[in-house]
Amino acid sequence: MLGDGFLDWLREQDDRTKTGLIAQLEERERALIRHDWPLWRREAQSPPRGAWNCWVICAGRGFGKTRTGAEWVRECAILDPDARIALVAASLGEARSVMVEGESGVLAICPPNYRPFYEPSLKRLTWPNGAMAFLYSAAEPESLRGPQHSHACRVVVGVDPPASDRGDECGIVVCALGASGIAQVMADCSVAKASPERWARAVAEAARGWNADRVVAEANQGGQMVASVLRAADIALPLKLVHASRGKAARAEPVAALYEAGRVRHAGLFAQLEDQLCGLIAGGGYEGPGRSPDRADALVWALSELMLGQPANPRVRQV
C-alpha cells in the first residue's frame, strides 16, 4: 500500500521523476493516486497560502480553471461535513454542464467511492459525509438571498457610464464578497475618453476576466441605450440596470459606513479611485480630482449590490 509519507515525497518531485516512478507502480496503486490532486496540480492551481477571503483565477482557456475550482470544492466538502457550498455560474445550464457534469466538473474529479449524490431537480450535490453544494444562476441573484453558505466567491462589476465620450470617465470597478462577509475591491478597470463601444468592451472584458456573477450599471444616462451597448459587447452579460435618485456623495454614505466598520478592503493600490473616494464630502458635494467621481460611483454600485442587498437609493415608505 502507498503510504502518506511516500505520497508527500512524490508530490515534491519534478514531473519527469514523478512520471517515471508512477510508471513502475502496479495498476491498483496507480488507481489510488489518480484522484490525488496535490500530486498532479501545478503551483498556480494551488489555493493561496495563509488567511484569505477571496481567491480569483484570472487566466485564459486551457489553464484548468474548472478543474481547479472543482477540486477546491471537493477538498472543502471532504474536510467539512457541515459545508454548504454555493456553485454560481452565468446560468443553471452552465452550472450543470460545466461545473457539475463536465469533463473537469465535480462528478468527474471525485473518486468513485466518494462521489456526491447529484439531484438535478433540487440543484443539489450531497457528499457521503453530509457536505452539500447548491447550484445557482447569476441571472437569478435573488435566489442567493436566504440560504446560508459556508463557501462561495460572489463577484460584481459596478459601472458608471459616461454621459459623453469627450472627457468623462467610464467607472468600472470589480468587487468580490466571500463567506467572511468582508468585501474586497479587486480591480479598477475604468477607461477615459472612450466611445460607447470601447467602454462596453472594457466592461465585458472585466466581467469575463473576473468571472463576474453580475454587472450593475447606472442607467440614468441613456437608459436602454446603456443596456444595448453592453449587450452588443457581450450578449450573455448578466446585467442589472440601476437608477440614481440622489447625488453621488449621498449614495456613497452607506458604503462609507461599511468602510468605517472594517467590512471593505482593497486588494491592491487604486490611487485614482481612492482619490475620488476621499473627495466625496459628507452631506453632499465632491471636492476630488476631475469633474465627477465616476470610479467611486462604480464602486458604490458594486458594493451596494454585494453588501447592502438593495440598490444604492433605498426609498422610505410612509405607513
Residue from 238, 200, 242 nearest 92 by CA: 238
Mean pLDDT over residues 14-23, rounded? 75
C-alpha cell at 190: 475604468
Strands 214-218 and 153-160: parallel
Q: Does residue 283 share a domain with residue 226?
A: yes
Do 251 and 121 share a structural domain?
no
Pair 137, 126: CB distance under 8 Å: no
Per-residue pLDDT, 165:
61
pLDDT tens digits, residue range 165-194? 666 789 999 998 866 678 889 899 999 988
Structure confidence by residue, pLDDT tens digits, 78-130? 988 888 899 988 888 999 999 999 999 999 999 888 899 999 999 999 999 99
Do 189 and 59 share a structural domain? no
Does 258 reside within a domain? yes
Q: For residue 293, what pLDDT is reported?
A: 83
Categorize the per-residue pLDDT at 145 as very low, low, confident or very high, splitting at 50, 70 and 90: low
Q: Could you list the residue range(s) of the whole structural domain that residue 73 is in? A: 55-151
Q: Is the pLDDT of residue 27 over 70?
A: yes
One domain, residues 234 and 97: no
pLDDT band at 314, cuts 50/70/90?
A: very low
The per-residue pLDDT for range 223-274, each reduced to its tens digit, is 678 888 888 887 677 888 887 766 666 677 888 888 988 889 888 888 999 9
**Residue (of 155, 160, 149) closest to 183 by Cα position:** 155
Report yes or no on 1 lying in a domain. no
Can you give the pTM of this predicted structure?
Answer: 0.58
Mean pLDDT of the chain: 81
Residues 146 and 163 in one domain: no
Number of domains the chain is built from: 2
Inter-residue contact 158 to 151 (CB < 8 Å):
no
Q: Categorize the per-residue pLDDT at 317 as very low, low, confident or very high, splitting at 50, 70 and 90.
A: very low
The predicted pLDDT at position 70 comes to: 94
195 and 291 part of one domain = yes
Where does the pLDDT of residue 158 fall: very low under 50, low under 70, confident under 90, or very high at 90 and above? very high
143 to each of 21, 25, 86, 150, how far by Cα in Å?
49, 48, 11, 16
Residues 158, 300, single domain; the answer is yes
Q: How far apart are the first and last CA of the chain?
A: 72
